């Protein structure tokens, strides 16, 4: 087990490095000049533009710029924002908890609603519960996130006044954004769990269990669900990554602080050091998530555990 984790970690480092290089190249090749974006194009003189370019080291060839950047990053220096000279690392560390809290709560909402409804709708196939579950699934998948967010604001904030429409102070301001993202996630999980449950229910071993006289409840929750969860866990792992990306929209709609807002702003402004820093951090999160998904397989399915050992 330890060995697997170690080997996974080393490939993970490669993935993180690759992501950094790729994003650096994309940002570098994007049309548009960050210096021109920083200065007011109608009043900046050519020499001002040139001076700023030299100050930022943007007059250097690509490979030197990249080498400088990467070297600094290994020393823990992620550089400063080109727009307001904020150091990148403290900025990310300051905003990361808010995004993590949002992702965590929306994952919990998504997983709870998703698995519960998924299982129930498979068991009560074509019944009322099934209809409701499929409706929730369809709603979650097909509604654009910002639209769901605005609907929730209109209903729960403007009309009912239960939760604040925006901000990032305290738990109450976390509810609506997390529900928005959670609904999207729940939509995917409901469909996934429902499908795999239906498949498992028709497998011969379920028939065998019934023949042995096990109660329906024990069969469904003790055996069928456990088997159905394997594909679901994969989806959930990827989904948490998606939720992390979904914070870009949700944090803007609900005016929350967080990594999503930072990267959206930085992309608009072509603020290279900030984009790089955020990508580096999110790629770490993705890699860790994948690792956790792999490990969880072996807990859910003993066959995987055995295969790992040999």
> Rounded to the nearest whole angstrom, what is the least distance from the CB of residue 275 to other proteins in the complex?
15
Closest CB to other proteins among residues 148, 227: 148
For other proteins, the closer of residues 237 and 273 by Cβ is 273
Using the minimum distance from each CB to other proteins, give the nearer residue, 33 or 242: 33
Min separation Cβ 142 and other proteins, Å: 6
Cβ-in-10-Å burial (0-12, 13-18, 19+) of 14 comes to exposed
Tokens of 254: 């609900």
Residue 80, helix vs strand vs coil: strand
Quick one: 44 or 129, whose CB is closer to other proteins?
44
Beta bridge partners of 87: 80
CB of 47 to other proteins, least distance (A): 8
Task: Give 63: exposed, middle or buried? Use CB within 10 Å, 0-12, 13-18, 19+.
Answer: exposed
The two tokens of residue 128 are 């009322």
Confirm if 192 and 118 have CB atoms less than 8 A apart. Answer: yes
Q: Rounded to the nearest whole angstrom, what is the least distance from the CB of residue 63 to other proteins in the complex?
A: 23
Instruction: Count other Cβ atoms within 10 Å, centred on residue 188.
Output: 20
Q: Please give the C-alpha separations between residue 279 and each of 22, 224, 285, 286, 293, in angstroms, as whole numbers.
A: 10, 39, 10, 10, 21
Tell me whether residue 3 or residue 42 sits nearer to other proteins (CB atom).
42
Give the number of other CB atoms < 10 A from CB of residue 219.
19
Main-chain phi, psi angles of 58, to 5 degrees: -80, -5
| Contact residues for other proteins, defined by CB under 8 A | 31-33, 36-46, 48, 51-52, 55, 83-86, 91, 94-95, 135, 138-139, 142-143, 146-147, 149-151, 153-155, 157-159, 161, 164-168, 251-258, 261-262, 265, 268
Shortest distance, position 98 Cβ to other proteins, whole Å? 9
Minimal CA–CA distance to 227: which of 122, 136, 112? 122
Closer by beta carbon to other proteins, 199 or else 265:
265
Question: Tokens at residue 262, please?
Answer: 């930072």
Please say which residue, 38 or 287, places its beta carbon nearer to other proteins. Answer: 38
Whose Cβ is closer to other proteins: residue 89's or residue 228's? 89
Token pair of 118, please?
Answer: 């998924």
Are the C-beta atoms of 229 and 299 separated by less than 8 Å?
no
- Cβ-contact 190, 112 below 8 angstroms: no
């Amino acid at each position: 087990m330890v060995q697997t984790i170690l080997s996974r970690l080393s490939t993970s480092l490669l993935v993180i490095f690759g992501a950094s290089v790729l994003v650096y190249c994309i940002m570098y090749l994007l049309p548009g000049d960050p210096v021109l974006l920083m200065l007011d194009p109608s009043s900046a003189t050519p020499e001002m533009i040139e001076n700023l370019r030299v100050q930022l080291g943007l007059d250097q060839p690509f490979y030197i710029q990249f080498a400088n950047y990467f070297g600094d990053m290994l020393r823990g220096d992620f550089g400063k924002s080109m727009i307001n000279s904020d150091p990148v690392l403290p900025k990310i560390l300051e905003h990361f908890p808010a995004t993590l809290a949002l992702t965590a709560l929306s994952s919990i909402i998504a997983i709870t609603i998703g698995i519960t409804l998924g299982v129930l709708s498979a068991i009560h196939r074509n019944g009322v519960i099934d209809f409701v579950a499929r409706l929730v699934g369809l709603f979650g998948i097909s509604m654009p996130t910002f639209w769901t967010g605005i609907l929730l604001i209109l209903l729960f904030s403007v009309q009912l006044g239960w939760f604040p429409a925006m901000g990032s102070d305290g738990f109450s301001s976390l509810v609506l954004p997390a529900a928005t993202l959670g609904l999207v996630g729940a939509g995917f999980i409901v469909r996934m769990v429902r499908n795999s449950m239906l498949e498992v229910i028709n497998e011969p071993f379920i028939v065998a269990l019934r023949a042995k006289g096990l109660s329906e409840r024990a069969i469904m929750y003790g055996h069928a669900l456990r088997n159905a969860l394997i594909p679901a866990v994969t989806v959930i792992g990827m989904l948490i990554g998606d939720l992390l990306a979904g914070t870009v929209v949700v944090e803007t709609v609900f005016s929350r602080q967080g990594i999503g807002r930072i990267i959206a702003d930085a992309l608009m402004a072509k603020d290279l050091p900030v984009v790089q820093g955020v990508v580096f951090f999110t790629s770490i999160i993705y890699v860790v998530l994948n690792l956790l998904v792999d490990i969880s397989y072996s807990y859910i399915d003993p066959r995987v555990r055995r295969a790992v050992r040999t």
